[in-house]
Structure 1
Amino acid sequence: MPNIVYIATSLDGFIADKNNQIDWLHDVPNPEGSDFGFAAFMDRVDALIMGRNTLEIVLNFGIDWPYSKPVFVLSNTLKKVPEGLEGKVFLVNGELSELVQSLNQKGFEKLYIDGGKTIQSFLQKDLIDELIITTIPILLGGGIPLFSELSAPLKFKHVGCERLADHMVKNTFIRTR
């Protein structure tokens, strides 16, 4: 029942720039239009958990809803699922470990954890089992960091490395307990 992070960061560890934008992700040359393994990753998971901010970023992509799996949005302020996403997006809140347990009991055992604050909260509760981090060769100099303070170190084992499009490196880490 793994909780998995799949995310891209800048060389200096930011997932969005100082203006909360991710346009820099699209500056990487991709002449073949590769998804760099994202579809294969999505085949591994049963559902997504993201925060309200990440939901808003996805909604502003200007594309059709990109997920075929259920998306559970953590929010204490959002009161209604965005129009047209009923049955695809579900609002949740509460203690993270209880949420994960509840979703697991409903058959959502492999969870994709997405979004800066959500990932940080899951790490603070030691609820992440796998990190898949693609590093983009750019220094942003500030923005939204992937990681924040932890109450104790969390150890991971490096289990994979893949060079993508001669520009990026995707590393996979498994939590050791």
Structure 2
Amino acid sequence: MSLKARVFIATSLDGYIAREDGGLDWLMGATQSTDDHGYAGFMAGVDTLVMGRGTFDKVMTFGEWPYADTRVVVVSASLEALPKGAPAQVELHPGPIPALLEHLQATGAKSLYLDGGKLIQGFLREGLVDEMTITRIPVLLGQGIPLFGGLAKDVLLQHMKTTSYESGFVQSTYRVVR
């Protein structure tokens, strides 16, 4: 695959990316720091953000679109059209992942940012994730939407680096070993 697919995501210490209802209050209130924890640097190397529908629906509630002019592809088999108010750089793709990758390559994508639990899980199952940066937030939720789901086989990772922030966040980057 000539595309590089990377993950940059926050989880609770017990591995959840959101509450069961999709709530992110625990994340939004986790720090008053102005440090972006490497996000701007990560985004500088991304030409296409690929997200699942659940993540897209959540982002649309934020008010201000957080991805500036970055191309965003929303993957959904059930959404027939983007809602009113969706930014012009957002496009919809029905999947599945092999067809999505073919489309992305044909349209010039080179560096993907994967966002959303189900989407990330699907790319992991297909063996298509190259690198993951996971920021652990010092909170236990006890239940919620997990980052990782069932896998047909183990996914071996090589630790690249870990950074501890004053906010209490601990960020680790892993390369997927193939």
Same fold flag (TM > 0.5) = yes
Supply the RMSD in Å over aligned alpha carbons.
Answer: 1.3
Contiguous gaps of at least 5 residues in structure 2: none
Counterparts of 2:60 and 2:166, CA distance in 1:
27
| Structure 2 match to 1:174 | 175
Match of residue 31, structure 2, among 29, 33, 52: 29
Superposed structure 1 runs of 4+ greater than 4 Å apart = none
CA displacement 1:79-115 (0-9 Å, x = unmatched):
1122233531101022313312331232211000000
Secondary structure of 2:62's counterpart equals coil
The code of the aligned residue for 1:66 comes to P
Secondary structure of 2:133's counterpart equals strand
TM (norm. structure 2) is: 0.93
Contiguous gaps of at least 5 residues in structure 1: none
* Distance verdict in 2 for CA 1:113–1:100, change over 3 Å: same
Whether the 8 Å CA contact 1:30–1:165 is kept in 2: the answer is no
1:8 maps to 2:24: no
The code of the aligned residue for 1:60 comes to T
| Structure 1 match to 2:73 | 72
Counterparts of 2:14 and 2:137, CA distance in 1:
9
Counterparts of 1:108 and 1:165, CA distance in 2:
35
Counterparts of 1:173 and 1:3, CA distance in 2:
12
How far is 1:164 from its partner?
1.8
| Structure 2 match to 1:109 | 110
The code of the aligned residue for 1:2 comes to K
1:47 maps to 2:48: yes
Question: Higher mean Cα deviation, 157-166 or 95-104?
Answer: 95-104
- The count of aligned residue pairs is 175
How far is 1:28 from its partner?
2.1
Whether the 8 Å CA contact 2:161–2:174 is kept in 1: the answer is yes
| Structure 2 match to 1:135 | 136
TM (norm. structure 1) is: 0.93
Q: Percent identity?
A: 42
